[in-house]
């Protein structure tokens, strides 16, 4: 496979990230995040996996040796339990607001940067096909404006073949592509697939329409990585990127997520931004009245209630 087109953090001043992104649909930057910034988050994630019994007993947690008997992934309840704990880690959210990242993202989207408040901390078992995310475009899940970008970064060095990421160059230029759940790699539109080793501190940043997939790890180690979305807040954002749909049923909520955090600037910062929701509150309210089944009407009503509660300044 062709290697990622690699940029180095030290050279960024002489590179137009925007034109790289426009041409290839991604930028891959080596050594962007200082490794020291990742160590504590990695150890928080390792502690969660270790508590869950996901590491082989007697092995050093730092070796990340997976216990295959515990292999699981979303939406299995045992994965969700660990993922919910990881989501509440203040260091996870702090990393996504680190100036080295936000500076790069502002070069791509302009100064009015929205860091989506729901980053994903992934704890991926090796040799576990259930955790493999086959070819897809993030826009189909993230919605809102297609002018959003994903930052993907591992917490430790990740050799090719150890559950990294592969990207189809130029695939963002073809709009939303046909999917049967996942996009067929054989018929996907774009140029070459690219991949390679991704180390701690490296970041892959890609457009929401760029086709990409994860690779099955053939190692014996758990893989810990983080991904998060960024955009300009002048562009529309889906309310589901801000509020929790299942909060009413005991799912995640911001109050408990933020409960033990020390930094105020990481909490509810999105409430101070002039967000433009898509669908808007008016559109959701109309759907809550006229959707074609009681289940759908309830779903829309609940969503409007969540928006009224979490971002009341957007409800007119
Ligand atoms: O980390 C992975 O396994 C896949 C991540 C991914 O597809 C994404 O961030 O959109």
227 CA closest ligand 1 atom index: 9
Q: What are the strands, taking DSSP E only, across 130-222?
A: 148-154, 165-168, 193-195, 203-207, 212-214
What pTM was computed for the model? 0.96
pLDDT at 249: 72
From residue 171, alpha-carbon distances to 164, 192, 212, 311 in Å are: 19, 9, 9, 35
Domain ranges of the chain: 2-235, 243-316
Chain-centroid distance of CA 316 in Å reads: 30
pLDDT at 314: 76
* Unique residue bearing structure tokens 């954002």: 237
pLDDT at 128: 96
pLDDT at 161: 81
212 CA closest ligand 1 atom index: 7
Q: Check pocket membership of 166 for ligand 1, CB cut-off 6 A.
A: no
Q: Check pocket membership of 122 for ligand 1, CB cut-off 6 A.
A: yes
Listed residue (163, 127, 130, 167) closest to 151, CA to CA: 167
Q: Check pocket membership of 225 for ligand 1, CB cut-off 6 A.
A: yes
* CA gap 196, 204 in Å, rounded: 11
Q: Check pocket membership of 152 for ligand 1, CB cut-off 6 A.
A: yes
* CA gap 185, 215 in Å, rounded: 13
Question: Which one of 79, 121, 122, 204 would you pick to mutate in the ligand 1 pocket, going by the greatest count of ligand atoms within 8 A of its CB?
Answer: 122
Per-residue pLDDT of the chain (316 residues; tens, 9 = 90+): 999 999 999 999 999 999 999 999 999 999 999 999 999 999 999 999 999 999 999 999 999 999 999 999 999 999 999 999 999 999 999 999 999 999 999 999 999 999 999 999 999 999 999 999 999 999 999 999 999 999 999 999 999 888 899 999 999 999 999 998 899 999 999 999 999 999 999 999 999 999 999 999 999 999 999 999 999 999 999 999 999 988 777 789 999 999 999 999 999 999 999 999 999 999 999 999 999 999 999 999 999 999 999 988 876 5
HSE-CB for 164 with a 13 A CA cutoff:
22
Q: Check pocket membership of 227 for ligand 1, CB cut-off 6 A.
A: yes
DSSP 108: H
138 CA closest ligand 1 atom index: 10
Distance 152 CA to ligand 1 centre (A): 7
131 CA closest ligand 1 atom index: 3
213 CA closest ligand 1 atom index: 7
Count of Cβ atoms closer than 10 Å to residue 219 Cβ: 16
* CA gap 12, 15 in Å, rounded: 5
- Are 165 and 215 in contact by the 8 Å Cβ rule? The answer is yes
- For helices 17-24 and 99-109, angle between their N-to-C axes, nearest 10 degrees: 70
Q: Check pocket membership of 133 for ligand 1, CB cut-off 6 A.
A: yes
Q: Check pocket membership of 214 for ligand 1, CB cut-off 6 A.
A: yes
Distance 35 CA to ligand 1 centre (A): 21
* CA gap 105, 113 in Å, rounded: 7
- Tell me the fold of 2-235: Jelly Rolls (2.60.120)
pLDDT at 316: 57
Chain-centroid distance of CA 26 in Å reads: 15
From residue 34, alpha-carbon distances to 156, 158, 160, 199 in Å are: 12, 16, 21, 11
Distance 213 CA to ligand 1 centre (A): 7
- Are 202 and 30 in contact by the 8 Å Cβ rule? The answer is yes
pLDDT at 202: 98
Distance 38 CA to ligand 1 centre (A): 18
Q: Check pocket membership of 138 for ligand 1, CB cut-off 6 A.
A: yes
Distance 93 CA to ligand 1 centre (A): 17
Q: Provide the 3-class DSSP secondary structure of residue 110.
A: coil
């Amino acid at each position: 496979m062709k290697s990622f087109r690699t940029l180095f953090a030290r050279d960024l001043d002489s590179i137009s990230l925007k034109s790289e992104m426009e041409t290839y649909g991604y930028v891959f930057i080596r050594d962007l995040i200082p490794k020291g910034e990742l160590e504590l988050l990695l150890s928080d994630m390792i502690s969660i996996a270790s508590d869950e019994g996901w590491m082989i007993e007697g092995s050093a947690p730092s070796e990340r040796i997976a216990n295959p008997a515990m292999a699981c992934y979303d939406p299995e309840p045992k994965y969700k339990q660990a993922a919910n704990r990881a989501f509440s880690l203040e260091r996870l959210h702090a990393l996504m607001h680190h100036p080295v990242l936000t500076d790069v993202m502002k070069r791509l989207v302009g100064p009015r940067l929205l860091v989506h408040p729901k980053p994903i901390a992934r704890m991926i078992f090796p040799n576990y096909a259930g955790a493999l995310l086959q070819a897809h475009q993030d826009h189909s899940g993230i919605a809102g404006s297609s002018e959003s970008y994903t930052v993907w970064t591992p917490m430790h060095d990740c050799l090719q073949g150890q559950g990294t990421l592969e990207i189809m160059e130029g695939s963002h230029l073809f709009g939303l592509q046909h999917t049967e759940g996942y996009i067929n790699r054989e018929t996907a539109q774009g140029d070459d697939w690219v991949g390679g080793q991704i180390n701690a501190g490296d970041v892959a940043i890609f457009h929401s329409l760029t086709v990409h997939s994860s690779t099955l790890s053939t190692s014996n180690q758990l893989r810990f990585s983080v991904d998060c979305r960024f955009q300009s807040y002048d562009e529309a954002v889906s309310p589901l990127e801000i509020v929790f749909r299942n909060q009413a049923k005991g799912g995640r909520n911001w109050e408990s997520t933020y409960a033990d955090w020390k930094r105020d600037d990481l909490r509810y910062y999105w409430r101070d931004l002039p967000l433009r929701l898509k669908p808007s509150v008016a559109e959701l309210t109309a759907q809550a009245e006229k959707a074609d089944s009681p289940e759908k009407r309830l779903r829309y009503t609940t969503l409007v209630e969540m928006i009224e509660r979490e971002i009341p300044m957007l409800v007119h």
